[in-house]
Chain A
Amino acid sequence: MKKKRCIAMLLAGGQGSRLMPLTEHIAKPAVPFGSRYRIIDFPLSNCVNSGIDTVGVLTQYQPLELNDYLGTGTPWDMNLRYGGVHVLPPYQAAEGSDWFKGTANAIYQNIRFIQRYDPDYVLILSGDHIYKMNYDKMLEEHINNRADCTIAVIDVPLEEASRFGIMNTDGKGRIIEFEEKPKHPKSTQASMGVYIFSTDKLIKYLIEDENDKSSSNDFGKNIIPKMLDDGQRMFAHLFKGYWRDVGTLDSFWSANMDAIGMPEDEPEKLILNDPGWRIYYRHDSNQPQYIGEKGEPKNSIIGGACDINGKIEHSVLFNNVTVEEGAFVKDSIIMDNVKIGAGAYVEYAIIDSDVTIGSEANVGGPRENGKLSVIAKGIKVRKKGRVKQGDILTKPEEEEETK
């Protein structure tokens, strides 16, 4: 079979505990984003748009919905005879079976998958970032630098640098030091969790790492520092553009709001309506949205099959959402199949799919007061019910009431 120049391995096994309750039943990369996408659509579409047609998706936590979503890869044109998208769950082998112990171990367990395509380079991605990036430019740099490993970095404000893994480089972009969440950062180049390895070096270090019983088998903690210590050629690739980690409820909320539109003075914007860099997704068969006589959508993005008869301000609505007359939704994310009853009020909240909010119910409060409210999948809020600002409602509201 023809060899592939570069394949991607997408780490999609993380539990996403900081996104609870959104990740209660689904893996983090399958969490819906921006009216109609899932988080994983961003790295997958980036791959396709960058000319990478073979992606191994490493799943572990709650993979059912993610597997269904990926299917045979048709939405991303990855339904190929040779290559395409492959779901790689942990498996049982002759010498035993293992859950993926860490990010490096997950790739280690799938070395045979990589070898099958015999690529010169392997791109490692994670499934919890929203960004549009041309990996091919990074690969070109990697080749020109004759690098063993290239790490994508983004310039972050100095005061935030201590939240990230920071790369210190020499004048030519070669990484001389890597610090995980440094107290006193020496630079502002934060790792995006996007790596390109030359395949031989990757496999060599994965095997060494696996044999080191003290290792926690993690790229950031073990593989990268070890390669640096050994003096391997490691380079930073500076990415300029919109990039957000959506690992927490607050960052997830604000990235969704960025999808509506960002201020003119913001240098890097998230633009979804971009024919030159489409984000592909799996489609529901639904009908176009209908805005009713009393509908007032403003400054919002709205998905298919919605029936809007209330006031919507600065919000992200997914598919098949019904908003009845007199209802008011502001600064909120409303996922698939949510029904918001007449006269209900929802402000600064994330409403997960299949939620019903009774008429005249009251959810959340003004954003100025600080706290985000969340209602988990399938919950029913009764008529005139109240979900206090900052509440994370994961059980039916009747129980709340008896307290």
Chain B
Amino acid sequence: MNAVGLIFTDGFDVDIDDMIERRTLASIPFGGRYRLIDFPLSNLTNAGVKNIGVITKKNYQSLMDHVRGGDEWDLNRRFTGLTILPPFSTAATSETESYENRLEGLVANISYLRYLHEKYVIITGCDYIWNEDIEAFYRAHVASGARLSVMYTKKDIEKTTKTESTYVRIGDGDKVTKQEISNTRPKGAYTSLNTYIMEREDLMDILFKAFRSGKKSFRREVIRPMIEKGEANGYEAKSPIIHIDEITNYLKGSLSLLDKDVRNAFFSNDDRPILTRVMDSSPTKYGENAKVTNSIIADGSVIEGEVRNCIIFRNVHIEEGAVVENSVIMTDTHISKGARINYAVLDKNVTIEDNRWLSGYITHPFYCKRNSII
């Protein structure tokens, strides 16, 4: 593996303002104990990538607290490892603002790329998550001789129509024939996962030129010309993909882990474990009258009430007589007796007092901000 990884931690095409009010997209909790960054980080390290740059924009304190020195991914090496790339203004932006798009985010970090030795760069993000063999992606790219490879999926990905996504058309020999950016999937086009591989020096060169000529968009002004010149190959990701772009898809994506095949595709591959920060919580405890079915329950939680079709994070307490269904309950949240929760996403450290009934619907989940008391 002769590639460095670059991970975008912000969503550029997401509509999930409530959840990222005080955190970056990358540190959104997911699947009972993970954060979204765990997926690209684990995918890259499982493939043998030794140098990973994490491009941050704002609100990245919780992200830094989560990844720290990268110990969990064995990225705390002496000469290689994890580098958090904090935002700073480039000449293209005003002095007070940090970058607004992927291109500026990359340009601002050319100097990080300059001092590495790897031949290739893999660029990815946190809004699509999967457990895919990145080494196979790398090998396919090297074998193809293409200038750029783009990962895409043929699966129908649920997305909000409020924001745009990237789509690609694939022709003979996996050649990418066209890139389209739109709110809905054009007929015959496939969803691009905004995951690319190309040569490091080539990327630096392109970025430098794009910056000098005042370009603004990575996809429109850097990727598209390469595709139009026939220099890009497609690589189809086959594993299940969860797209986090708004609260409804967050809830649906979370609950899709209750499906055995999806869960196994994400978590049951011994060669490709998804790793996360460990917390030394106590084991999950079930009370005398607990009733739990079809749920993922993290450690440190105490379940005394009823739980059906839920994702329960660490250190959650569900009291006897509470009923929680079809919901995601994040770390340190407390649900008191007599409460009923249905189709809800309760963020961290929420307190639901006695006998509160809260319900959303699968298409309109009830979201409750961090530290709220109801």
Query: Which A residue sits closest to B270, measured CB to CB?
Result: A285
Cα separation A294 to B293 with both chains bound (whole Å): 7
Cα separation A279 to B281 with both chains bound (whole Å): 8
Cα separation A241 to B289 with both chains bound (whole Å): 28
For B, the interface residue count at a CB cutoff of 8 angstroms equals 37
Would you call A232 an interface residue if the criterion is a C-beta within 8 Å of the partner chain's C-beta atoms?
no
Q: Find A297's partner among B275, B292, B296 (CB 8 Å cutoff).
A: B292
Q: Find B285's partner among A261, A280, A287 (CB 8 Å cutoff).
A: A261
List which A289-316 residues lie within 8 A (CB) of chain B: 289-304, 312, 316
Would you call A81 an interface residue if the criterion is a C-beta within 8 Å of the partner chain's C-beta atoms?
no
Contact yes or no, A288 B32, CB < 8 A: yes
Interface secondary structure of B, over-half rule: loop
Render B294-307 as a binary contact track against A, CB cut-off 8 A, 1 for contact.
11111110100001
Query: Which A residue sits closest to B278, measured CB to CB?
Result: A283
Known contacts A283-B278, A299-B288; decide if A288 and B283 are in contact (CB<8 Å).
no
Would you call B268 an interface residue if the criterion is a C-beta within 8 Å of the partner chain's C-beta atoms?
yes
Would you call A214 an interface residue if the criterion is a C-beta within 8 Å of the partner chain's C-beta atoms?
no
- Chain B residues lying within 8 Å of A281, measured Cβ to Cβ, are 280
Would you call B33 an interface residue if the criterion is a C-beta within 8 Å of the partner chain's C-beta atoms?
yes
Would you call A34 an interface residue if the criterion is a C-beta within 8 Å of the partner chain's C-beta atoms?
yes
Contact yes or no, A291 B280, CB < 8 A: no
List which B257-299 residues lie within 8 A (CB) of chain A: 258, 263, 266-268, 273-275, 278, 280-299
Query: Which B residue sits closest to A259, measured CB to CB?
Result: B283
Would you call B81 an interface residue if the criterion is a C-beta within 8 Å of the partner chain's C-beta atoms?
no
Cα separation A296 to B292 with both chains bound (whole Å): 6
Would you call A272 an interface residue if the criterion is a C-beta within 8 Å of the partner chain's C-beta atoms?
yes
Shortest Cβ distance from residue B73 to the other chain A in the assembled complex, whole angstroms: 10
Would you call B5 an interface residue if the criterion is a C-beta within 8 Å of the partner chain's C-beta atoms?
no
Query: Which B residue sits closest to A315, measured CB to CB?
Result: B286
- Chain A residues lying within 8 Å of B268, measured Cβ to Cβ, are 287
Tell me which of B289, B297, B302 has the highest count of chain A C-beta atoms within 10 A of its own C-beta.
Answer: B297
- Chain A residues lying within 8 Å of B53, measured Cβ to Cβ, are none
Cα separation A283 to B290 with both chains bound (whole Å): 27
List which B306-328 residues lie within 8 A (CB) of chain A: 307, 315
List which A210-247 residues lie within 8 A (CB) of chain B: none
Shortest Cβ distance from residue A86 to the other chain B in the assembled complex, whole angstroms: 21
- Chain A residues lying within 8 Å of B292, measured Cβ to Cβ, are 291, 295-297
Query: Which A residue sits closest to B32, measured CB to CB?
Result: A288
Contact yes or no, B282 A290, CB < 8 A: no
Contact yes or no, A297 B294, CB < 8 A: no
Contact yes or no, B283 A298, CB < 8 A: no
Q: Find A303's partner among B267, B274, B280, B283 (CB 8 Å cutoff).
A: B283
Contact yes or no, B280 A279, CB < 8 A: yes
Q: Find B280's partner among A278, A290, A294, A300 (CB 8 Å cutoff).
A: A278
Would you call A273 an interface residue if the criterion is a C-beta within 8 Å of the partner chain's C-beta atoms?
yes
List which A150-174 residues lie within 8 A (CB) of chain B: none
Known contacts A287-B263, A292-B294; decide if A36 and B283 are in contact (CB<8 Å).
yes
Contact yes or no, B290 A297, CB < 8 A: yes
Render B33-57 as a binary contact track against A, CB cut-off 8 A, 1 for contact.
1000000000000000000000000
Would you call A260 an interface residue if the criterion is a C-beta within 8 Å of the partner chain's C-beta atoms?
yes
Contact yes or no, B302 A302, CB < 8 A: no
Render A259-271 as a binary contact track against B, CB cut-off 8 A, 1 for contact.
1110000000000
Query: Which A residue sits closest to B311, measured CB to CB?
Result: A288
Given A290-B263, A300-B285, 9 extra CB contacts under 8 A: A273-B285, A273-B315, A288-B299, A290-B297, A296-B292, A297-B286, A297-B290, A298-B289, A302-B297
